[in-house]
């Protein structure tokens, strides 16, 4: 489903110098697997997710989704790839003038769902993240953690084959973190491949997935304790 082959990413700094954000990474995530990318701030987790969505290109190596090299895709190919991905990014944004429900239906409609189907799937996703009662709230009427959950619901509503989530439990209280963690685990059980990035070891443990430990852009051998 997802494969990295010898992937490195080097950023040039405006002030001069360069940062090796990722160094020669190779790993595979199999269909329906839940993989957890754990590492401290600056380890390269967000960079890695951006290589998978095609927002960035690797300096060396290849990222393959379903056997297709992401950096070889043109604009159309990238759009098609992203339609199959559920993305919860760190800097994910909601449309300010649409309700929680509206933010989901607009995406589903754009993907071809009819009006009723879009509404049903959007509502079901909001209920799954515990936001059914807040469906008619505008983003500014929601707390930061609630907005994160709307973003997660938006990623889920599209029923992606591969879900990429960057810090899915950030800004959530312990009870809600547990709800989201359980939700992600059940998604994987129902067949969605998941790659979840987190700096929180307790989140990684709770997800009970396969742990990929990233430190300073390098992958630690598997089997090391979190």
Which residues of the chain form contacts with ligand ADP (CB under 6 A)?
11, 19, 21, 39, 41-47
Q: Which is nearer to ligand ADP, 56 or 146 (CB)?
A: 56
Within 10 angstroms of residue 108's Cβ, the number of other Cβ atoms is: 22
CB of 185 to ligand ADP, least distance (A): 22
Start-to-end Cα distance in the chain: 24
Q: Which is nearer to ligand ADP, 22 or 126 (CB)?
A: 22
CB of 14 to ligand ADP, least distance (A): 8
Q: Which is nearer to ligand ADP, 49 or 118 (CB)?
A: 49
CB of 166 to ligand ADP, least distance (A): 7
Residue 110's H or E segment, with its range, is: helix 100-110
Q: Which is nearer to ligand ADP, 51 or 104 (CB)?
A: 51
Instruction: State the Cα–Cα distance between residues 107 and 198, nearest whole angstrom.
Output: 26
Q: Which is nearer to ligand ADP, 37 or 142 (CB)?
A: 37
Instruction: State the Cα–Cα distance between residues 32 and 30, nearest whole angstrom.
Output: 6
Rg (CA), the chain: 17
CB of 8 to ligand ADP, least distance (A): 12
CB of 211 to ligand ADP, least distance (A): 15
Q: Are 89 and 166 in contact (CB under 8 A)?
A: yes
Q: Are 8 and 65 in contact (CB under 8 A)?
A: no
Q: Are 217 and 44 in contact (CB under 8 A)?
A: yes
């Amino acid at each position: 489903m997802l494969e990295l082959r010898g992937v490195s990413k080097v950023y040039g700094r405006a002030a001069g110098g360069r940062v090796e954000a990722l160094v020669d990474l190779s790993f595979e995530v199999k269909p329906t697997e839940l993989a957890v990318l754990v590492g401290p701030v600056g380890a390269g987790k967000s960079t890695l997710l951006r290589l998978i969505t095609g927002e960035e290109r690797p300096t060396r190596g290849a990222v393959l989704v379903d056997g297709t090299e992401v950096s070889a895709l043109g604009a159309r190919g990238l759009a098609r790839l992203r339609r199959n991905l559920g993305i919860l990014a760190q800097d994910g944004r909601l449309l300010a003038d649409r309700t929680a429900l509206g933010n989901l239906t607009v995406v589903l409609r754009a993907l071809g769902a009819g009006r009723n189907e879009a509404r049903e799937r959007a509502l079901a996703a909001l209920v799954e993240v515990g936001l059914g009662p807040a469906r008619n709230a505008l983003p500014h009427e929601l707390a930061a953690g609630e907005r994160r959950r709307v973003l997660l619901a938006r990623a889920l509503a599209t029923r992606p084959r591969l879900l990429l989530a960057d810090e899915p439990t950030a800004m959530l209280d312990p009870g809600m973190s547990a709800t989201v963690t359980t939700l992600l685990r059940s998604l994987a059980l129902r067949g969605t491949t998941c790659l979840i990035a987190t700096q929180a070891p307790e989140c990684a443990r709770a997800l009970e997935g396969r742990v990929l430990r990233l430190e300073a852009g390098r992958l630690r051998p598997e089997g090391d304790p979190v």
